Chains A and B, each alone.
Chain A
């Protein structure tokens, strides 16, 4: 700056545009038609196989490999951040594994990766999810040939952990989208794509035992991914389910 100068200024000026503070954009365009895409699903909602070590509900950045042909009755939830009763009724409310297999069968998507990933994002260690868990999951999904990575968060911090992992996947060259029960958190944390059905934490992928809603949410999400053309876009989905715990 020069040593002395005058400037006409004003007190009380207000910034005229609301600006969300987000991390740096990360973006992999979706270039294939859905029917040729290999799709992965990850969730930070604490889903794992019944024969796997449960998550530490106080905070856990480890993850579980869930073969995508696992029967849904062999899956369970370990998560202290929200009411588990919906997932206990139907794990598809958080990890819609049956619906995804149906989508392949009807040709809506090309195929599924062999392995899905479950982790427990509640109270998640940001540094570990960003620099260890995220890159590891991204590397494995990329190696399995995923074009698309879909995800659900669970609670608030789960949305954060989930978004951190999705950003790693996006950076590794896969197109990602979070189905968010708490879209403001996903957006604030820099999710590349967001769809938002009106669902409670704990049934982020739709009402339990309502395959029609679960399928609708998945299809609308995949279709929205073809519409989104840049980082940070969000689409509200016309599904509403309320859960009175």
Chain B
């Protein structure tokens, strides 16, 4: 495929390869060269080989073909007349030549620049900001507008600010706390199924008769079974795990503020199949032994020592892949969970083992950022309930499919207070389930990051129909524009066609000049098939050694480590420091190297 004049300029030092068959005597111009950006793909598909000793496009330009040349022939000096005398083509491993420079007696330009401890002279960066980097300050960057009008900086130039031994970028304006949420954790050391529902002295008793109530929750529910699974007895077979739901109840205030009582040490696990024995799942299922099929400790999963209260629901034959089937199962389970909530609403006089305080805080003077979380909204079993009345509950929640998958803003506290009840049954390893949102690592980390001003968390569905995908992405763009943010992180659960939304959502933000970082599972199985130039700062969520959706619950979902890398990458991008382009293929070493850069 030939090059245009503009693309030619960008690739003068790349290998020269004929795009199409060209007859002897052709004087080579832009239209005769293959586009170097697809060389890795061409080489991978055995359509082309790149040898040492080839010419660069610059060298071959204007030279004449001696013989007829076939498409995808790499040009070498013996094939051409009139080759320009310019430096030799870089081999396809440019790192090798770089390596030779390292440690050599002659300091190269980059080494020279690193030698002095003094700050590098500030240079105006794109967007009209001066960006200073101080090596001694261990990665501290100061960013402020270029030009004269810097009201808070000392007169003259910005340099004195940077030169002060303890760089303090002026007095930080006071934080504005919008609302406070306290999660009080109460321990559960034992769960028993009894004749009433109560919580006392670390013992959660669940009324066995609730199972009968749960069966009446929805006509599609055909059977419900409840089992207590203690940490030592996890080698039990289970139907596919649809959700993990913490027991959390509002003691004071509404969702996102006041006090939430949380049981610590026991969680509900919803599993299900239909009457015909079909697992309620879509892309992959995690039925099997519970000690093998759950990545314990992930934000969405039971923790290592959690007691699991398994609620297994059988739904009407054939409804597993319709919205109503999984919703019925969740409704049934919620009958039982809700009874437990009622039992912990008032725990006056009981001392929690832990109290965590979460603040929705606006930090004036810090870069404004938004977290965008893409959730599934494609009907079938892909839906989510937004802002239920009780933490992680079902009642009162609005279905994002019914809302048309448009972006909806939640405050960080609302998210962490169980503002999302997840109905999504996409691949088990990549789905974000209800407990995940209750302790979402990116929300937690962004909310407490004093360098950033987190404006809110936007939930946007991934619709089924292509034009709806475009509609919701465009609405996201308009929303983000109105929020006037300085940076954004976009995440998605799952992989496959929702990566189309993911790329459009990132483009909707990036095309408005807002630095954006994308977070998803891709690795081997989920390689992106679509993309755009705004997707240049990406975080990989894969944890599977082979890069697969491995059907282990929540294995490939966001962890605090992933969140830390994403935030560092966003700050780095906002500061105008380049993020290096990715390897052509998923490479765990890249992720490990990035991890080391997180302090």
Interface residues of A (CB under 8 A from B): 1-22, 24-27, 80-83, 122-123, 126, 155-157, 159-160, 182-185, 187-189, 196, 198, 201, 229-234, 245
Cβ contacts A to B, 24 pairs, < 8 Å: A1-B145, A3-B151, A6-B142, A7-B572, A8-B140, A8-B571, A9-B141, A9-B577, A10-B598, A12-B597, A13-B572, A15-B537, A17-B528, A17-B535, A17-B582, A20-B530, A22-B531, A25-B469, A123-B2, A156-B1, A184-B41, A184-B47, A231-B529, A245-B70
CB contact between A184 and one of B45, B518, B569 (< 8 Å): that residue:
B45
Q: Do the beta carbons of B141 and A6 come within 8 Å of each other?
A: yes
Q: Are A81 and B20 in contact (CB under 8 A)?
A: yes
> Which of A11, A19, A83, A182 counts the most chain B CB atoms within 10 A?
A19
Partner pick for A156 among B71, B133, B364, CB 8 A cutoff: B71
Q: Once bound together, how far apart are the Cα atoms of A195 and B19, in whole Å?
A: 21
Whether A4 pairs with B144 at a CB distance below 8 angstroms is yes
Give Cα distance in the complex from A88 to B360, angstroms.
Answer: 72
Chain B, Cβ-Cβ closest to A19: B531
User: Are the C-beta atoms of B597 and A10 separated by less than 8 Å?
Assistant: yes
Q: Which residue of B lies closest to A24 (CB)?
A: B504
* A8: chain B residues within 8 A (beta carbon): 139-141, 451, 568, 571, 599
A13 and B568 contacting across the interface, CB-CB below 8 Å: yes
Question: Given A4-B144, A4-B152, A81 and B71 touching (CB < 8 A)?
Answer: yes
Q: Which residues in B have their C-beta under 8 angstroms from that of A82?
A: 20-21, 70-71
Q: Is B486 on the interface with A (CB-CB < 8 A)? A: yes
A82 to B1, CA, bound (A): 12
Besides A15-B579, A157-B1, A157-B2, 7 more A-B contacts (Cβ < 8 Å) are: A3-B152, A4-B152, A7-B141, A8-B140, A11-B577, A17-B520, A17-B539
Pick the residue among B71, B529, B535 that contacts A201 (CB under 8 A).
B71
**A contact residues around B581 at 8 Å (CB):** 14-15
- Which residues of B are found within 8 Å of A17, using beta-carbon distances? 518, 520, 522, 528, 535, 538-540, 582, 586
For the complex formed, measure the closest distance between the CB of B1 and the CB atoms of chain A, giving whole angstroms. Answer: 4
Interface pair B42/A13, CB less than 8 Å apart: no
Among residues of B, the one whose C-beta sits closest to the C-beta of A58 is B31
Q: Is the beta-carbon distance between A1 and B20 smaller than 8 angstroms?
A: no
Determine the residue in chain B with the shortest Cβ distance to A184.
B41
Question: What residues of A have a CB within 8 angstroms of the CB of B87 in the complex?
Answer: none
Question: Which residues 353-407 of B have a CB within 8 angstroms of A?
Answer: 364-367
Per-position binary interface string of chain B over residues 52-75, scored 1 when its CB falls under 8 Å from any chain A CB and 0 otherwise: 000000000000000000111000
Q: How far is the CA of A6 from the CA of B138 in the complex (A)?
A: 12
State in angstroms the CA–CA spacing of A22 and B535 once bound together: 11
In contact, B528 and A13 (Cβ under 8 angstroms): no
Q: Is B594's CB under 8 angstroms from A13's CB?
A: yes
Task: Say whether A19 contacts B528, CB under 8 Å.
Answer: yes
Q: Which residues of B contact A9 (CB under 8 A)?
A: 133, 139, 141, 568, 571-572, 575, 577
Contact with A along B117-146 (1 / 0, CB 8 A): 000000000010100010000011111110
Residues of A within 8 A of B195 (CB): none
Per-residue CB contact flags for chain B residues 217-238 toward chain A (1 = under 8 Å, else 0) read: 0000000000000000000000
**Contact status A21-B533, CB under 8 Å:** yes
Collect the chain B residues with CB atoms within 8 Å of residue A160's CB. 1
B326 to chain A: closest CB distance in Å? 20
How many residues does chain B have at the interface if contact means C-beta atoms less than 8 Å apart?
Answer: 90
Name the residue of chain A whose CB is nearest to the CB of B31. A123
Please state if A10 and B20 are interface contacts (CB–CB under 8 Å): no
Minimum CB–CB distance for A130 against chain B, Å = 14
B258 at the interface (CB under 8 A from A): no
Interface of B is mostly: loop
Q: Quick check: B594 and A16 within 8 Å, CB to CB? A: yes
Interface 0/1 of B245-287, CB less than 8 Å to A: 0000000000000000000000000000000000000000000
Pick from B169, B469, B520, B593: contact of A5, CB below 8 A. B169
Cα of A36 to Cα of B451 in the assembled complex, Å:
60
Taken together as a complex, chains A and B put the C-alpha atoms of A21 and B531 apart, in Å, by: 5
Closest CB pairs A-B (n = 5):
A184-B41, A230-B497, A232-B529, A19-B531, A17-B538
Per the bound structure, the CA–CA distance linking A159 and B35 in Å amounts to 13
- Least CB separation from B128: chain A residue: A1
Q: Contacts A20-B528, A157-B2, A201-B71; is A4 near B127 (CB within 8 Å)? A: no
Would you give the 0/1 interface string for B488-511, flagging 1 where the beta carbon is closer than 8 Å to chain A?
Answer: 000000001100100110000000
B residues apposed to A, CB below 8 Å:
1-2, 4, 19-21, 23, 31, 34-35, 37-38, 41-42, 45-47, 70-72, 127, 129, 133, 139-145, 150-153, 161, 167, 169-170, 364-367, 451, 466, 469, 486, 496-497, 500, 503-504, 518, 520, 522, 527-533, 535-540, 565, 568-569, 571-572, 574-575, 577, 579-586, 590-591, 593-594, 597-599
* Closest residue on chain A to residue B170 by CB atoms: A4
A158 CB to closest chain B CB (Å) equals 8
Q: Is the CB of A18 within 8 A of B139?
A: no
Do the beta carbons of B597 and A230 come within 8 Å of each other?
A: no
> B528 to chain A: which residues have CB within 8 Å?
17-20
How far apart sit A233 and B127, CA to CA, in the bound complex (Å)?
37
B143 pairs with A25, CB closer than 8 A: no
CA distance A234 to B528 in the complex (A): 12
Structural contact, B21 and A188, CB atoms closer than 8 A: no
Measured between beta carbons, the chain B residues less than 8 angstroms from A230 are 496-497, 500, 529
Is B451 a contact partner of A10 (Cβ separation < 8 A)?
no
Point out the residue from A182, A187, A245 that lies within 8 Å of B529, measured CB to CB.
Answer: A187
Chain A residues with CB under 8 Å of B597's CB are 10, 12-13
* B31/A2 in contact, CB under 8 A: no
Bound CA span A122–B18, Å: 13
Minimum CB–CB distance from B575 to chain A (whole Å) comes to: 5
Distance, CA A117 to CA B438, complexed state (A): 57
CA distance A101 to B392 in the complex (A): 59
CB distance B466 to A83 under 8 Å?
Answer: no
Q: A10: which B residues are within 8 A, CB to CB?
A: 139, 568, 572, 577, 597-598
Bound-state CA distance A196–B47 (Å) is 12
Inter-chain CA distance A67–B380, complex, in Å, is 43
Question: A residues within 8 A CB of B593?
Answer: 12, 14
Closest to A233 in B: B529
Nearest chain B residue, comparing its CB with the CB of A29: B466
The residue of chain B having its C-beta at the shortest distance from the C-beta of A84 within the complex is B21
A13 touches B530 (CB 8 A): no
Cα–Cα, bound, A55→B177 (Å): 71
Q: Chain B residues near A196 (CB, 8 Å)? A: 45
| Contact indicator A18/B580 (Cβ below 8 Å) | no
How many whole Å from A201's CB to the nearest CB in chain B? 5
Report how far A122 CA is from B32 CA in the complex, Å: 11
**Nearest CB to that of A2 among chain B residues?**
B365
Smallest CB-CB separation from B528: which chain A residue?
A19
Contacts of B72 in A (CB 8 A): 156
Q: For the complex formed, measure the closest distance between the CB of B378 and the CB atoms of chain A, giving whole angstroms.
A: 11
Bound-state Cα–Cα, A83 to B537, Å: 42
Given contacts A15-B536, A16-B591, A81-B71, contact A5 B366 (CB under 8 A): yes
Residue of B nearest to A198 (CB): B46
Chain B nearest CB from A15 CB (Å) reads 4
Chain A residues contacting B37 (CB-CB under 8 Å) are 21, 188
